[in-house]
Each structure stands twice: as C-alpha cells, then as structure tokens.
Structure 1
C-alpha cells in the first residue's frame, strides 16, 4: 500500500461518547482498484483480508480518501474527497465506501484535479503542518476554485495561525 496511507491506527476500538465512528473501506487490487487514505488519523483498523481493510475515524476527524480504478482500456475512476467525520445527529453526505458518510470539504475527480490536490497536500506538509489541522475553509476554497477552473491559492503559515487563533476564540 501507499507508504503515506495511514497515520495513527490503533489496534483497539475505543467506545466513542457519541457511539459513532466513521468507517472507510479500503480496497487494494494492484492496477485494478486502489482506495487509500492520503492523510488522516484513524483510531482503529480492521483487516478483512489481504486486499481489504476498514479504518475508523472519530467525530471531527479530517481525512483525505483517494479512489482510483482502471480496466483494460485505462483509468476509469480517479477521485479525492477530503471529509470531516460527523457527530451523531449531524447532517452528512454519503459516499461509496464511507459509512455513514461525512461532511465533504473538498471533492474532485479526474487525474489532473486529483494530482493538483495531492500537490497542495504535499505543500502543506512541506510547511510542517499536518493537513488534518489545516483550515476547513481552505479545503472548501480549493474545491470551489477547481470547480470554477481557477488555480487555488497556496496555504500559508499565516493563514494556519489565524485558523488556530479562531479555534481558540470560539466557545
């Protein structure tokens, strides 16, 4: 699997106060179907077999889910979704392989757009910032710019600092 696919998986499933975890089913059949987590901190991993596993994320966790598939004629699916795991009672959008679903911060398909998002994630990591801690508004900005065919702005340390200060100021 991708060397950067998972960070922080634990072997024991904790009981969450809300009683709900967001589960993501990952499948890996080399050069056929490949689902992986580009960033995120799973708190549980369940291995179903050598090609399939389920990662669990607590409410509020942000993660990037990449889906790619091909057939004999080439790539048929190339997508990335950046999601926030929802709390019990929150509204959410459904996605294949994600139970129950999540709050979509960014959603794009087609390799050029997916590659652009992957490069933006790399740039955030190069700043020494964990992409799970980046401002949700930034991911929405990237989504909107890509949808409009415009280039998204880069994430900056100053933007990240402002986001962290806003979080502390909220009740």
Structure 2
C-alpha cells in the first residue's frame, strides 16, 4: 500500500482547504488558447477545480515562477512570467492576477522573447544542479532589471549560491 505522503498532491485526501497563510495560484490550461503554469516552486496544496483549472498553494517564504501565455485566432496576446516570493502574515505585498493574496514580485517580464530568455536562465541555473526555488531573491531582481534595460544579466553560479545560502543561515 502506498503511503499518503508518496502520492502526488492531486491524489492525496483533501482537507477543508489549504493550510493557513498559503498563497494560492489559479492555473488554467486550454491547449493553444490559455496556458498558465508553474515553471518552478514547491507546491504544498493542490485542488482540481475542473478539467481545465486547478488551484495550487505555496507556503509563506517560498519562491515560484508563474508563466502565463494566451492566444486568439490571430496569434499570441499574452506572454508573461512572474517570479514571486510568497509572503508571511502581516507582510506587505503586491497584487498579481490569479495569485491570492499576492506576493513580493521579484521578476516581471512580458513579451515572448524576454520570457523565453528568462526560461533559458532558469534552465541554466538548474543545469548547475541548483533548484531555482533556492536562488537568491536579489538575483531574480537583477535579471528583471537587466532584461528591462535590454542588457544581459550576470550568470548565477555555484559560488554565488553558496554565499546566498550562508547569508540565509545568518538571517534566520
């Protein structure tokens, strides 16, 4: 018999709702029309709403990437990626469509060429063996500002990541 913790989130028994202070993201998938998905992030909650929509949750202080793409009969009408740090109780936040209550937006990029570049950066970080959820929050802000300015962001490397992990230990 499979232990409940080894089952995918969508197959686990649901409780009345998400744990307190969970940041919820509504995802929609209608092939080649509306495609909202999570590129990275550690989900702690999932609820299937219907065939095309589900609700996922993230605990306070975690980071996730939310990709939104939509098209109509004439082509792409929306391409966007947001990298968001979820908030703790009482912390200020920015609102974002389909994200409740909102979060600390570390990166906001619109337009497919820029979105594709951010996805390449995420792939490069993961190729180093680093989970994109654990990347320094300052790096995502750096990437956002450099792309907005039309400049190439600095690479994130293992040394920078090790320094970030030590900084987090000291701050806790």
Residue pair 1:35, 1:67 contacting (<8 A) in 2 also: yes
Residue pair 2:18, 2:57 contacting (<8 A) in 1 also: no
Tell me, in whole angstroms, the C-alpha distance in 1 between the residues paired with 2:161 and 2:68. Answer: 28
Tell me, in whole angstroms, the C-alpha distance in 2 between the residues paired with 1:144 and 1:125. Answer: 21
| Alignment deviations for residues 82-141 of structure 1 (CA, whole Å, 9 cap, x no partner) | 001111111111111100011000000000110000000000110000000000000000
Name the structure 2 match of 1:131. Answer: 132
The Cα of 1:15 is off from its aligned counterpart by 6.8
Name the structure 1 match of 2:68. Answer: 67
Name the structure 1 match of 2:58. Answer: 57
**Gapped regions of structure 2 (runs ≥ 5):** 1-7
Alignment of 1:95 with 2:96, yes or no, is: yes
Larger radius of gyration: 2
Tell me, in whole angstroms, the C-alpha distance in 2 between the residues paired with 1:76 and 1:122. Answer: 25
* Alignment of structure 1 residues 78-93 onto 2, 5 Å: 78-93=79-94
Residue pair 1:145, 1:151 contacting (<8 A) in 2 also: yes
**Gapped regions of structure 1 (runs ≥ 5):** 1-7
**SS of equivalent to 2:42:** coil
**SS of equivalent to 2:49:** strand
* TM-score relative to the length of structure 2: 0.90
| Alignment deviations for residues 48-83 of structure 1 (CA, whole Å, 9 cap, x no partner) | 111000001110110000000000110000000000
Residue pair 1:9, 1:41 contacting (<8 A) in 2 also: no
Name the structure 2 match of 1:3. Answer: none
Q: Would you say how many aligned residue pairs link Structure 1 and Structure 2? A: 162
Tell me, in whole angstroms, the C-alpha distance in 2 between the residues paired with 1:104 and 1:15. Answer: 22
Tell me, in whole angstroms, the C-alpha distance in 2 between the residues paired with 1:146 and 1:54. Answer: 30
CA RMSD of aligned residues (A): 1.5
**SS of equivalent to 1:49:** coil
Name the structure 1 match of 2:5. Answer: none
* TM-score relative to the length of structure 1: 0.90
Distance change (3 Å), C-alpha of 1:70 and 1:157: same
